[in-house]
A and B are shown apart, each in its own frame.
Chain A
Amino acid sequence: MTADKNIKEEQIAYAKWLDWGMKIGLILLILTFIVYLIGILSPQIPISELPKYWKMKAHDYLVSAGIHPGWAWLNLITKGDFLNFVPIAFLGAVTVLCYIRILPIFLKKKDFAYFVFALIECLILILAASGLLQAGGH
């Protein structure tokens, strides 16, 4: 697809990274799910026990399954089910990567307002991803 001449440099750069990020994320998502389904790696939570957990509130599920919130899943990525968190988290990171890509373009254009907006957006998304914000359980 050729880009329109009216479209700004940062928009094209953002679109290119978004395109690649989405494709990589989706392919990884399908591959890791196949690994999970055919049992190449054993899951942390036996698949037959899932119906017991998916009825619970998320907080109760974590407590009951002995899983820690935040990035603790990284310790479990050798398990078939938690391996799927890699592409899921990657899809969540694509937007941050795209924003990081356009930061230098705004700086080069001396577009300081949008540089600050993009920088704050990165910080907001990184804060959300950090795991520092924990929701209370009910």
Chain B
Amino acid sequence: MKIRFVIVLVLLIFSLLTCNFAFAETTASNQGDVPWWIWPLILFIATFILGILAVLGGVGGGVLFVPIIGGFFPFNMDFVRGAGLFVALAGALAAGPGLLKRGFADLRLAIPLALIASASSIVGAMIGLALPSNVVNTSLGLTILMIVAIMLLAKKSEYPEVKKADALSQALRINGIYNEISTGKEIEWKIHRTPQALFLFIAIGIMAGMFGLGAGWANVPVLNLLMGAPLKVSVATSKFLLSITDTSAAWIYLNNGAVIPMIVVPSIIGIMLGSVVGVRILAKAKPKVVRYIVIGMLLFAGLRALLKGLAIWK
């Protein structure tokens, strides 16, 4: 039953994408053939489905949004990345209060990392908007394929062992306690390798701004595997971090004309409604199966962006 549901969902999204191909051809030859409202409507349906899959697959909306919408819709990548940043930003803003109040996301951990990442994301956004579309698509395709590799290979550690907190994190008093609801225990945590992580967040910020992806796929491994924050704290702090990192990049896109409300608003509403439905389905679905479907979609979208950038698959 559950597998059947997932298959129907995947078929639906791919049939939509196939429809888009047909429409894209028509629009390219004669714009008058496709009523203007078709695209926002398909965009809304597609982002609604992406919102469901993002929750079930355990990824951020932005990382699915940019390659899939950029690859299969007639919008210029500038507008897709601008919308992608606002999609990721809206999701992070919505999740942030709950994560902070429950103590899963940690403000003291996030603030120094956000400072580096948000400054870098401005640089990334300016580079991204200045680059020609084929370069953006090629590098986006390569980045997505790298994300697929990270998702397949990166291990996760529920409670990484941190023998001694590093000097910087001690000086900044970055540590915490949170209540693990599943066990009813209080988990104390501290971190190490803070300077190395700060350095990596420069690259994460640049990529987030350049591609409008959000950056949960990179934040979580750095927080969890490198710095040694518990997995729950890593995932929650990563989600909260996006609300800061993506804000600075989103402003650059907004101020440079890369935001069209007819693209941004249906995307935000679609993905947020999808996320709400996704959370309800989560209790019944098999996350592992969905995760592989999401990885498959990313692989396909990444190859599409790469081949589009190289002018092999226009």
A-to-B contact residues, CB < 8 Å: 1, 3-4, 6-8, 10-12, 14-16, 18-19, 21-22, 25-26, 29-30, 33, 36, 47-48, 50-59, 61-62, 67, 69-71, 81, 84-85, 88-89, 91-92, 94-96, 102, 113-114, 117-118, 120-121, 124-125, 127-131, 133-138
Contacts and interface: CB of A to CB of B under 8 A. Distances in A.
B36 A128 contact: no
Contact of A95 (B128, B247, B262): B247
A85 B93 contact: no
Contacts of A96: 247
Contacts of A14: 100, 107
A117 B112 contact: yes
A4 B82 contact: no
B116 to A, nearest CB: 10
A91 B90 contact: yes
A71 B90 CA distance: 21
Interface SS majority for chain B: helix
B31 A52 contact: yes
Interface SS majority for chain A: helix
Contacts of B253: 58
Contacts of B102: 1, 3-4
Nearest to B128: A135
Interface in B99-125: 100-103, 106-108, 111-112, 114-115, 118-119, 122, 125
Contacts of B171: 113
Contacts of B129: 58-59, 135-136
Interface in B240-269: 243-244, 247-265, 268-269
A22 B96 contact: yes
Given A3-B102, A59-B257, A129-B255, 14 more contacts: A4-B101, A6-B177, A11-B100, A11-B103, A18-B96, A18-B97, A50-B262, A51-B36, A54-B79, A56-B76, A57-B78, A92-B247, A124-B118, A135-B128
